[in-house]
Amino acid sequence: MSVRQSLLAILDQGACYGYQLRAEFDRRTGSTWPLNVGQIYNTLDRLERDGLVAKGDVDEQGHVYWRITDAGRADVAAWLAAPVRRGPGTRDELAIKLAVAATLPGVDVAEVIGTQRATSVATLERLRRARGDDDADAADLARSLVADSMIFAAEAEVRWLDHTAHRLSQHPLQERSLPLSTDRPRRGRPAAASVASA
Amino acid sequence: MSVRQSLLAILDQGACYGYQLRAEFDRRTGSTWPLNVGQIYNTLDRLERDGLVAKGDVDEQGHVYWRITDAGRADVAAWLAAPVRRGPGTRDELAIKLAVAATLPGVDVAEVIGTQRATSVATLERLRRARGDDDADAADLARSLVADSMIFAAEAEVRWLDHTAHRLSQHPLQERSLPLSTDRPRRGRPAAASVASA
DNA sequence: ACAGCCATGTAACTTGTTACATGATTTT
DNA sequence: AAAATCATGTAACAAGTTACATGGCTGT
């Protein structure tokens, strides 16, 4: 929803045409996440479908301007007022992967973590190099803001990897493996006491 | 891709039927992220379409077992060998939102950050309460592993919010606002020097 | 009998994303 | 003239997600 909501929020400042929206999004996010132009028009169509924007005037140069509707403005206000929820719906790819990998008997989890750690540290260093100094103008402020977000997240990732590696090293492999249930769920309600345990 | 890959990795341990796969996924991820049963069958169909799994035997009880293919095994191995990349493709909803909000003139960014911070701190506390002690059996180990991941991420989020609030407070609003370009991109290549700057 | 879980499946939908087609304009 | 950029759009697809339909089985 972030692209959709961002474009809508930008349109709240004034009518724009598609190509211009991409430039605005790029600038405001410090060109951190490249946005395919086609996605803009796609998203605009969907926003129009949902009644949040409307196709407006056409420039003498052929620019198709889109304007936000009242419903769209309300949507932007709600978006800004509501916090981003990191609830059950937000899955962390790395956490899932390691949790699953840790329960896979034949897998060397330490190696998986090691490889990941090396990559994450490299990413972190690249981010720190890429991030300029604190004194920045408005455009670079947005960029460094986003860069900081990724740096903080990468730091937490490395810390978690170390923490996890340490915890897993303290638990023997046998206890770690969760084999497929030998007594699998049966059709219908399960009996009060499972009998067929291997 | 995480659900898809996880199911495939579980199938690498042995044939399963759909409902069982959900139970396995739930257990291995500590029931952190609820998985709609329908999604299992959906994902299995797509994995079959891609030649990574095959519909196997049917139980005397009607259970439809799925088995992994050689291509599927290769896919799992590649998944485990390759680190999770947090590159340009991975968008952070919160970072995007704040970056955009910070460039919206009429918006009180401090308030947005404040609301977010309160929510994030509450989430963090809830996670810490929910997370049991370190001594846990195999099933709880997976749960606390994932819980730790979310705790570390939430901590980083709060730190970033504070960091960002501090940085933004040091920059006056005028410098922060990035108004829509008055000289908008024209059709064709732009002139060497823009003349029409407001 | 009925409620409730086990189990499979289908249909529809969301956002995100890419590849491609098309043409105008402008710089080189 | 050619290359590059500006600009709009379309078609297709991926992964995730949900709601629903349909039975079977079991405990009360």
Domain boundaries defined on chain B: 3-81, 93-176
pLDDT above 80 (res B65):
yes
Mutate which: B24, B76, B96, vs A, most A CBs within 10 A: B96
Kindly report, residue by residue over A2-40, the tens digit of the pLDDT: 999 999 999 999 999 999 999 999 999 999 999 999 999
Give the residue-averaged pLDDT of A161-184.
72
Closest chain B residue by Cα to residue A180: B24
pLDDT for res B89: 80
Write the residue in A20, A88, A178 that is nearest to B185 by C-beta.
A20
pLDDT for res B141: 85
Write the residue in B1, B100, B159 that is nearest to A28 by C-beta.
B100
Gap from A61 CA to C23 C1', Å? 13
d(CA B102, CA B80): 39
Kindly report, residue by residue over B91-144, the tens digit of the pLDDT: 999 999 999 999 999 899 999 999 999 999 999 999 999 887 766 676 678 889
Kindly report the nearest CA distance between residue B112 and chain A, in angstroms: 6
Tell me how crowded residue A137 is: count the other CB atoms within 10 A of its CB.
10
pLDDT above 90 (res A81):
yes
B141 touches A: beta carbon within 8 Å: yes
In this structure, the strands spanning B16-17 and A53-58 are unpaired
Class (C level, CATH) for A3-81: mainly alpha
Residue pair B48/B65 in contact (Cβ under 8 Å)? The answer is no
pLDDT for res A153: 97
pTM for the predicted model, two decimal places: 0.89
Kindly report the nearest CA distance between residue B59 and chain A, in angstroms: 11
**Cα angle for residues A64, A65, A71 (degrees, 5° grid):** 135
Whole-number average pLDDT of chain A: 88
Give the residue-averaged pLDDT of A87-91.
85
pLDDT for res A177: 56
Nearest to A30 by CA among A154, A138, A151, A129: A138
Give the residue-averaged pLDDT of A126-155.
86
Give the residue-averaged pLDDT of A171-194.
51
Residue nearest to nucleotide C27 (CA to C1'): B189
pLDDT for res B135: 62
Does the distance separating the beta carbons of A175 and B107 come in below 8 Å? no
pLDDT for res B190: 45
Residue pair A53/A68 in contact (Cβ under 8 Å)? The answer is yes
pLDDT bucket at A176, cuts 50 / 70 / 90: low
Write the residue in B13, B32, B184 that is nearest to A180 by C-beta.
B13
A169 touches B: beta carbon within 8 Å: no
Kindly report, residue by residue over A52-79, the tens digit of the pLDDT: 999 999 998 999 999 999 999 999 999 9
pLDDT bucket at A198, cuts 50 / 70 / 90: very low
Chain C positions with a protein C-beta closer than 7 Å: 3-12, 15-20, 23-28
CB within 8 A of A50, min separation 6: which ones?
Answer: none
pLDDT for res A193: 33
Residue nearest to nucleotide C17 (CA to C1'): A39
Q: List, in sequence order, the alpha helices (H) in B18-137.
A: 18-28, 37-49, 70-81, 93-102, 109-130
Tell me how crowded residue A182 is: count the other CB atoms within 10 A of its CB.
9
Answer yes or no: is A29 CB < 7 A from strand C.
no
b/e map B10-44, b = 16+ CB within 10 Å? bbbbebbbbbbbbbbbebbbbbbbebeeeebeebb
d(CA A139, CA A27): 7
pLDDT above 70 (res B58):
yes
Q: Which residues of A touch B12 (CB under 8 A)?
A: 104
Whole-number average pLDDT of chain B: 88
- Number of residues written out for chain A: 198
d(CA A3, CA A25): 9
